[in-house]
Amino acid sequence: MTMQVLAVDDSRTMRDMLRLALTGAGIEAHLAEDGMHGLERLDELPPPDAIITDINMPRMDGFGFIDAVRGRETLRAVPILVLTTESAAELKARARAAGATGWIVKPFDPESLVRALRMVAG
Amino acid sequence: MTDPMAEIRASFFVECEELLEVLLDGLQSMEDGLADSETINVVFRAVHSIKGGAGAFGLDALVAFAHRFETALDELRSGRLVADGEVLRLFFTGSDILADLVRDSRDGNPTDDALVAPVRADLEALAATTAVPEADTGVIDFQPMALALDLDLDAPPPPQADAPVWQIRFRPEPGLYESGNEPLFLIRALRDLGALTVRCHDDAVPGLEAMANPEAGHIWWTLQLETTEGEAAIREVFDFVDGLCQLDIEVAPGGLDLPDLPQPEPTSAPEPEAAPALAAPPDGGAATAPKPASTPPGEADPRAAAATPAPRATVRVDLERIDRLVNLVGEIVINQAMLSQSVEAAGIPPNSPVRSGLEEFLQLTRDIQESVMMIRAQPVKSLFQRMARIVRETSAATGKEVRLRTEGENTEVDKTVIERLADPLTHMIRNAVDHGLEANDAREAHGKPREGTVSLRAMHRSGRIVIEIADDGSGIDRSRVLDKAIRQGLISADSQLSDTEIDNLLFLPGFSTADAVSNLSGRGVGMDVVRTAIQALGGRVSIASTRGKGTSFTISLPLTLAVLDGMVVRVAGETIVIPLSAILETLALGRDDVRSFGPSTHVVGIRDRFLPLLDLGAELGFRAPLEDYADQIVLLVGQEDGSPAAMVVDAIDDQRQVVIKGLHESYGRVPGIAAATILGDGQIALILDPIDLVSRAHGCTRRPPVASDRIANVQTGRDT
């Protein structure tokens, strides 16, 4: 089975890079533009193997998104990696409280990202 | 397909332009008094996204600046800073510098740090005045992902003889499972570091009936890892679960064997049954309850959903593809014309199905062409934002307080037109601020508001785009312009010029001198260059000025550079196309309409005025001027100043859409000729630039500005 990953980021460039990094590693990438859009995508998709999300986004930010994902019964165990330029401890604590699995600081190295994904999602 | 990273990089810079636009929009809203948290957030995110992308491409200078900018904006976001005039001015300047950095990064040019550094320092200072020291206490609950795991996942390294053996005790807490972590994967990651021995402790697992929460962490592991990677590498595996488990890592005493683990299990042991706790069915009983769902799915933040509509679906297309489409549509237009001609030639009756089918085809062709043009159209907003920057810079350089008012920012214009308008507009805006507007004190002395206003408006008007640049400055000092023009020998000393004619002197090439700049509000600076640039776009520029009130320039442009509505005329056996937009009126000359005046000058009386005839055939060198112009056709062509000129042709053939085929690349700029086209019968015809032609006219219809008035006076005896 191809690994399925939902990546949520409001930057088109970042989505393009994520798509490239993921598909390059044989992972099927689903993309969303913000938290709200991410939830919509999750409505359409079978539960992905992992979720990557940005924090600063319009409409619904990463915290709200993680919180909402964890609120869904079928998605409670899906690993969520936060991918952001932020690195303040306070923000990390918030992400963790919301239910994030891990935190990766941008800019990301595609190989490391994929490695982290494989580590949290098998 | 080219290098995907290069493509993403290119699209990043496109995105940057959009983000810069969003940024400027937001700042403008703030300046207009709308500094709500969403506006601030939007501005913050724009800079944040530029920083994020720039980091991905290693654009360090851009990242560094964006970071300072972002930090300063974060102060605004947190309410520690108020967006007053001073702060906003700095943010505007910051946006300009950010735009420079983006464009220089894109084009691979170095950015002058002398420009960047002071602004960067100002932004830093701004943040420093309010910022509380970052509360990074060193208590890190989860770390950035380890980057050192560059091992082949499929082939764990063989154990090395002298590798130290680590003993790891790993006991997950409930939070570990709740955050989507999975012990199995951690154990696999450890296996990648070296030879791993796993022992699972399931003695604390309660019976099914007693297990309330299978994720409460009932099982734990002791692991032995033989690796040369070191403790840091092992800890990195546990980065994401730091604080979510009990973890002890130490060098195993006495080598490989653990006291409680005499029989090492194969490394594959944990695979299927490593985390039985996860698989165990939930049941009533002890332990902690699962984390309650804090937000029902699907309604996480309905307010946010209502506030902003979902972004419209768009597709990004390579410009080359669109241009190809534009060319193809051009070919269809030509083809359709040829077909019409063939149908005509075949003598097919007007009501036949072929004719009506062709009618529909014509309509469809027009629709397709319009739709294709719409793809290339862009709002002038980006152009206006660039002009806003020119105003800011010129205002700072001259020390004049200036407000820019824009209107019609969403007016759409062909992309190429927008690009090629930037230079002339920049010139005109600079002139308006630098020379059009008076100094603030002088304005006050004249009872005007201290702050000068430059306005920039765009609108559609009868199938053309009109852009107006106006200032509320002192207007053109016509006596000085006249004086200057006479002294420079551009006009004769006894010339009697109308106000409009005087204003138009500013467009004469010889007129722009440095001396004139200071004396006449610099209205002449490079205006001939501006006019040439606009004419090259098939546009015209006109000027209007009121002493003491200000000056306005009006640029009128065709909607597209690809197709135009033309009148096909015949002169001396040649077929020529004249843009329909230039033609005010057509009329057939009767014997009494033409008077000759002097040896080679004919005039035509049209209502209450007399116009010299411009013989197109003679003007273009197709034939000698005619002796008699009776029965010829006259086209009245509107000039820059609005007055008509009369152009004589032999006959009007047709009125139709023609595809513009540029001549500039092959022949350079040909005076009086705008472009060429291919007609329905495959014939190539020139498209005239009538206004240029009239202004350059010589020979039988030379019309010095004064002469026509004099002619009119001479001819007043004629009844009208």
Question: CA A19, A22, A27, A30 torsion: positive or negative?
Answer: negative
Closest partner residue to A120 (CB to CB) among B57, B182, B243 is B182
pLDDT single digits (tens) B538-551: 788 888 889 889 99
**Mean pLDDT calculated for residue range B57-73:** 89
Find the length of chain A: 122
Both tokens of B451, joined, read 């702050």
What whole-number distance in Å separates Cα of residue B51 and Cα of residue B34? 25
**pLDDT more than 70, % of chain B:** 79
Say whether B285 sits in a helix, a strand or coil.
Answer: coil
Among B180, B243, B301, select the one facing A60 at the smallest CB separation.
B301
Domains of chain A: 4-121 (3.40.50.2300)
Q: Are B691 and B540 in contact (CB under 8 A)?
A: yes
Q: Please report the pLDDT score of residue B599 as a whole number.
A: 65
What residues in A contact B58, CB-CB < 8 Å?
A: 107
Is the pLDDT at B377 greater than 80, yes or no?
A: yes
Give the residue on B whose Cα is nearest the Cα of A97.
Answer: B179
Q: In CATH, which of 3.90.1200.10, 1.10.760.10, 1.20.120.1200, 1.20.120.160 is domain B4-130? A: 1.20.120.160
Q: Is 90 exceeded by the pLDDT of residue A5?
A: yes
Mention the CATH class of domain B563-717.
mainly beta
Q: What is the fold, at CATH topology level, of the domain defined by B380-558?
A: Heat Shock Protein 90 (3.30.565)
Q: Two tokens at B45?
A: 């995110």
CA atoms within 13 A on the CB side of A39: 26
- Which pLDDT band, with edges at 50, 70 and 90, does B146 fall under? very low
pLDDT of residue B95: 92
Q: Which band of pLDDT confidence, cut at 50, 70 and 90, is reported for residue B8? A: confident
Q: Select the residue of B52, B135, B188 nearest A89 (Cβ to Cβ).
A: B135
The mean per-residue pLDDT over the stretch B348-376 comes to: 85
CA–CA distance from B631 to each of A115, A121, B628, B690 (Å)? 86, 88, 9, 21
Burial, B472: exposed, middle or buried (Cβ in 10 Å; 0-12, 13-18, 19+)? Answer: buried
Which pLDDT score, from 0 to 100, does residue B491 have? 79
Q: What is the pLDDT of residue B130?
A: 59
Q: Which token pair is B602? A: 């004919």
pLDDT of residue B147: 33
Nearest to A106 among B55, B139, B182 (CB): B55
CB-based contact, B420 to chain A, within 8 Å: no
Residues of B in contact with A72 (CB under 8 A): 293, 297
Residue of A nearest to B243 (CA): A96
Mean pLDDT across B399-413: 90
**pLDDT on residue B304:** 42
Q: CATH number of the domain at B165-279, please?
A: 3.30.70
pLDDT (mean) for B559-572? 82
Q: Which residues pair with B633 in a beta bridge?
A: B588, B649
Q: Is the pLDDT of residue B666 over 80?
A: no
- Alpha carbon distance B218, B171 (integer Å): 9
| Domain residue ranges in chain B | 4-130, 165-279, 323-377, 380-558, 563-717
| Beta strand pairing call for B464-471 and B452-461 | antiparallel
Asked which of A64-73, B206-215, B668-677 is least confident by mean pLDDT, the reply is B206-215
Q: Which residue spans within B572-705 are E strands per DSSP? A: 574-579, 583-588, 594-596, 602-606, 609-615, 633-638, 644-649, 651-659, 673-678, 684-688
> With contact defined as beta carbons under 8 Å apart, do B554 and B438 qualify?
no
Contact A73 B12 (CB under 8 A): no
Q: Residues B577-581: what's their mean pLDDT?
A: 86
Q: Specify the pLDDT at position B640.
A: 59
> Closest partner residue to B142 among A10, A68, A92, by Cβ?
A92
Per-residue pLDDT, B254: 53
Among partner residues B53, B142, B297, which is closest to A72 by beta-carbon distance? B297
Amino acid at A45: L
Q: How confident is the model at residue B498 (pLDDT cuts 50, 70, 90)?
A: confident
Indicate whether B138 pLDDT > 60: no
Asked if B184's CB is within 8 angstroms of A122's CB, the reply is yes
Query: Which pLDDT does position B78 carry in this prediction?
Result: 82
| pLDDT confidence band for B463 (50 / 70 / 90) | low
Choose the weakest-confidence range: B3-7, B302-306, B347-351, B479-483: B302-306
pLDDT of residue B311: 52
Q: Do B49 and A11 touch (CB under 8 A)?
A: yes
pLDDT > 90 fraction of chain A, expressed in percent and rounded: 47
Can you give the pLDDT at residue A60? Answer: 92
- Kindly determine whether residue A57 and residue B45, on different chains, have CB atoms separated by under 8 Å: yes
At B467 the pLDDT is: 93
List B residues 209-268 in contact with A (Cβ-Cβ < 8 A): 237, 239-240, 243
> In terms of CA atoms, which chain A residue is nearest residue B146?
A112
DSSP E strand stretches across B215-307: 220-226, 245-251
Interval A22-37: pLDDT, tens: 998 999 999 999 999 9
Nearest to B53 among A14, A59, A115 (CB): A14
Contact B687, B577 (CB under 8 A): yes
Best residue in B43, B48, B236 for a mutation probing chain A (most A CBs within 10 Å): B48
pLDDT at residue B606 in the model = 77
pLDDT band at B162 (very low <50, low <70, confident <90, very high): low
Chain A residues with CB under 8 Å of B15 CB are 11-13
Residue B312 has a pLDDT of 59
Interval B279-288 mean pLDDT = 42
Could you report the per-residue pLDDT of B76-126, keeping only the tens digit for each? 888 888 888 888 888 999 999 999 999 998 888 888 888 888 888 888 888
Average pLDDT, chain B: 76
Question: Is B145 in contact with A80 (Cβ distance < 8 A)?
Answer: no
B44-58, B230-244, B286-300: least confident range: B286-300
Return the number of CB contacts < 8 Å for A and B: 193
* Set of chain B residues whose Cβ sits within 8 Å of the Cβ of A84: 52
Is B144 touching A (CB cutoff 8 A)? Answer: yes
Interface contact flag, A10 B49, Cβ < 8 Å: yes
Tens-digit pLDDT profile for residues B507-529: 877 675 444 444 334 444 478 78
Alpha-carbon distance of B393 to B95, in angstroms, equals 12
Q: What is the crossing angle of helices B85-107 and B60-77, to 10°?
A: 160
Task: State residue B458's pLDDT score.
Answer: 92
Q: B11 in contact with A at a CB cutoff of 8 Å?
A: yes
Is residue B299's pLDDT more than 80?
Answer: no
Q: How far is A4 from chain B (nearest CA, A)?
A: 15
Closest CA to B97 of B116, B121, B125, B73: B116
Interchain contact, A13 vs B53, CB within 8 Å: yes
Reported as a single tens digit per residue, the pLDDT across B253-272 is 654 443 443 344 444 444 44
At B241 the pLDDT is: 82
* Residue closest to B404 by CA, chosen among B438, B432, B444: B432
Strands of the sheet with B673-678, listed across from one edge? B651-659, B563-571, B574-579, B684-688, B673-678
A71 and B293 in contact by Cβ < 8 A? yes
The answer on pLDDT for B243 being more than 70 is yes
Q: Give DSSP secondary structure letters for A6-63.
A: EEE-S-HHHHHHHHHHHHHTTPEEEEESSHHHHHHHHHHSPPPSEEEE-SS-SSS-HH
Task: Give residue A37's pLDDT.
Answer: 94
3-state DSSP call for residue B279?
Answer: helix
Work out the percent of chain B whose per-residue pLDDT is above 90: 11
Q: How far apart are CA B515 and CA B488, in angstroms?
A: 12
